[in-house]
Amino acid sequence: MTAMQPISIMDLPRIAEPGQRPTPTSGPLIDSFGRRLEDLRVSITDRCNFRCLYCMPEEGLPWIPNSGVMSTDEIVRVVGLLVKLGIKEVRLTGGEPTLRPGLPALIETLGALPGLESLSLTTNGFLLKQMAGDLAAAGLTRINVSLDTLVTEKFERITRRDALARVLEGLEEIEKYPAVHPIKVNAVAMRDFTEEEIISFAELARRKPYAVRFIEFMPLDAEGNWTNEQVLTGEEIRQVVHAWKPLVRIDNGDPSSTSRDYMFEDGIGQMGFINPVSEPFCSTCNRIRLTADGQLRTCLFSLEETSLLSSVRAGISDADLEQVIRGSVWRKELKHHINEGAYFVRPNRSMSQIGG
């Protein structure tokens, strides 16, 4: 076990003001703080078959018209270029990515990009039972399934869908494909909702081959109801689990990891804590995002974005698109301001519109 030292934001002096030094025109994709960007989240649809309370209103959101969503060819071109520029991990998300027709074919094409080391999917699991075989056959190697409660009635309340059994069946199905590994189960932790189930989730992590992770609730809900009081911190949860059965920290070898990972002392079961609110990990952030309508976002909380899709549709060359990307990445935000009161400004897109 290795002791990990969190890197403070203070350790990140700018290597140059974005306007003062020209954006690097070659070499690795870096921002003006010297962070190297290697992880890309791609939203392949903004639509969803769930309506999670902390994400989307009951009636849904104004969806991007089909003509404004990146086509498969456009996704492959932009992602292909980003991989050439140094992106090593791609995660497909949404909205609900399994709703996108042709998902297995897209996975197969992206998975063949030279230089790409990891291709994963984040899903609510509703369609997983029927799609698991096709996803595995297409070459999917990692999956995250979102699951916030193990209680049927609470599941219906939080997702506004009666679908817990179906999601659990989807998880059972994907277990049959050992090439899809690890299977991560992600639960958004909320005060007065999650506490009573902490041990049930810990038991799930021990009973099943799933790494169970808790994610702190962030101010990215479409209805703007987030308050700091609703955040149940990862550390609070970790302490409850640890008091039940001791956990030991494990080093997943990735300094840019969002998750603090633990294993039970007896070696049975893994848990992780993703604490963007209480313990921000901005200083080691290596992530960028592409929305379903082709906007490059350099932070979940970006107030600005760069439309790669409009450039692509205007006929831009790869060489020029590369410079657009480098310019956007160079201006990546230092950090989010969630804990800075009035200084925090919510982005104008919510989680499902960005691609979590």
Phi first, then psi: give them for residue 184, nearest 5 degrees.
-110, 135
CA dist 95 and 56 (Å) reads 10
According to DSSP, the β-strands at 287-290 and 270-274 are unpaired
Q: Is 95 in the site for ligand SF4 (CB under 6 A)?
A: yes
Binding mask 305-344 for ligand SF4 (x = CB under 6 A): ----------------------------------------
Binding mask 117-156 for ligand SAM (x = CB under 6 A): -----xxx---------------------x----------
Rounded to a whole number of angstroms, the minimum distance from the CB of residue 94 to ligand SF4 is 6
Region 172-201 residues binding ligand SAM, contact defined as CB under 6 A: 186, 188
Residue 141 exposure: Cα atoms within 13 Å on the Cβ side: 11
Angle at 185 between CA 191 and CA 136, to 5 degrees: 160
Could you tell me which of 230, 223, 291, 234 has the C-alpha nearest to residue 262?
234
**CB nearer to ligand SF4: pick between 149 and 311:** 149
Rounded to a whole number of angstroms, the minimum distance from the CB of residue 68 to ligand SF4 is 18
CA dist 323 and 327 (Å) reads 6
Stretch that binds ligand SAM, among 20-28, 90-98, 110-118, 241-249 (CB under 6 A): 90-98
Among ligand SF4, ligand SAM, none, partner that 56 touches (CB below 5 to 8 angstroms by kind): ligand SF4
DSSP 138-201: HT--EEEEE---SSHHHHHHHHSS--HHHHHHHHHHHTT-TTS--EEEEEEEBTTTSGGGHHHH
Q: Is 52 in the site for ligand SF4 (CB under 6 A)?
A: yes
Residues that bind ligand SF4 (CB under 6 A): 48, 50-52, 55-56, 94-96, 124, 146, 352
